[in-house]
Amino acid sequence: GENVEQHPSTLSVQEGDSAVIKCTYSDSASNYFPWYKQELGKRPQLIIDIRSNVGEKKDQRIAVTLNKTAKHFSLHITETQPEDSAVYFCAARRGSARQLTFGSGTQLTVLP
Amino acid sequence: DSGVTQTPKHLITATGQRVTLRCSPRSGDLSVYWYQQSLDQGLQFLIQYYNGEERAKGNILERFSAQQFPDLHSELNLSSLELGDSALYFCASSVMESYGYTFGSGTRLTVV
């Protein structure tokens, strides 16, 4: 089955700096890559997603890039703010699979 | 409010007992997914239903079972509970299997 590795497990940045979280996937047939943000004690929320026919997608301060050849994708957050502090999960899904396989999560802390 | 409703929010029970967790998907969503999130762990896929039929199974223990009813709500049954079953159990729904999920707020199960 699909395996998704996520790095780093923890990340601290100063407010206003950029943060980058990287994920690699094992199955070259994977074609859908969402990112979720989970605040403490709350549900994971979809913040951005990308499909395999697109190399990059942006939404205000958030962007995701996909490198199909290397089988990795990254989340970029610019101009970080304290409210960006949360656990971020990447995920991947093969076209033939029905469920998402999640990475192990990154605890992002934005220091004021 | 995500539109995915999970009840109860909290559940405390003793080892060896049986509990039922309930999930109502967003209106119009046909797929329901169950995930387990243990302390400091990622999201582990348990099982998925689509329009009443089981469609995918993950690392779900034999002591656990689930079903989706004609009104599309789903129940996850956990029996012969052990201390290690203590976790957050999330339900998620999607309109189609190729789309991202919307998560419910989860049920926090504590086995004592």
pLDDT in tens, B5-27: 999 999 999 999 999 999 999 99
Q: Is the pLDDT of residue A94 over 90?
A: no
Q: What are the backbone angles phi and psi of residue B77, rounded to the nearest 5°?
A: -105, 125
B103 to chain A, any CB pair closer than 8 A? The answer is yes
Q: What phi and psi values does residue A21 have, to the nearest 5 degrees?
A: -120, 135
Which of 68-97 (B) contact A at CB < 8 A?
A: 90, 97
pLDDT at B1: 79
Q: Who wins on pLDDT, A62 or B40?
A: A62
Q: Which two tokens stand for residue A18?
A: 């950029």
Distances (CA, A) of B21 to A9, A46, A68, B31, B90: 30, 23, 38, 17, 10
Q: Sort out which chain A residues have CB atoms less than 8 A from B59's CB and list them.
A: none
**pLDDT tens, position by position, B24-69:** 999 999 999 999 999 767 899 999 999 999 999 998 999 999 999 9
The pLDDT-based confidence of A41 (bands split at 50, 70, 90) is confident
Chain A residues touching residue B41 (CB < 8 angstroms): 104
pLDDT at B34: 97
Q: What's the longest Cα–Cα distance across chain A?
A: 44
Task: Name residues 25-44 of chain A within 8 A of B (Cβ).
Answer: 32, 34, 36, 42-44
Mean pLDDT of A99-105: 93
B55/B33 Cα distance (integer angstroms): 10
Q: Which of B1, B43, B95, B96 to mutate to test the interface with A (most CBs of A within 10 A)?
A: B43
Helix ranges (H only) for B1-112 are none
Written as one letter, the residue type at B1 is D
Judged against a pLDDT cut of 90, whether residue B95 lies above it is answered with: no
Pair A103, A4: CB distance under 8 Å: yes
Does residue A97 have a pLDDT over 80? Answer: no
Rounded Cα–Cα distance for residues B19 and B14 (Å): 10
Longest Cα–Cα distance in chain B: 39
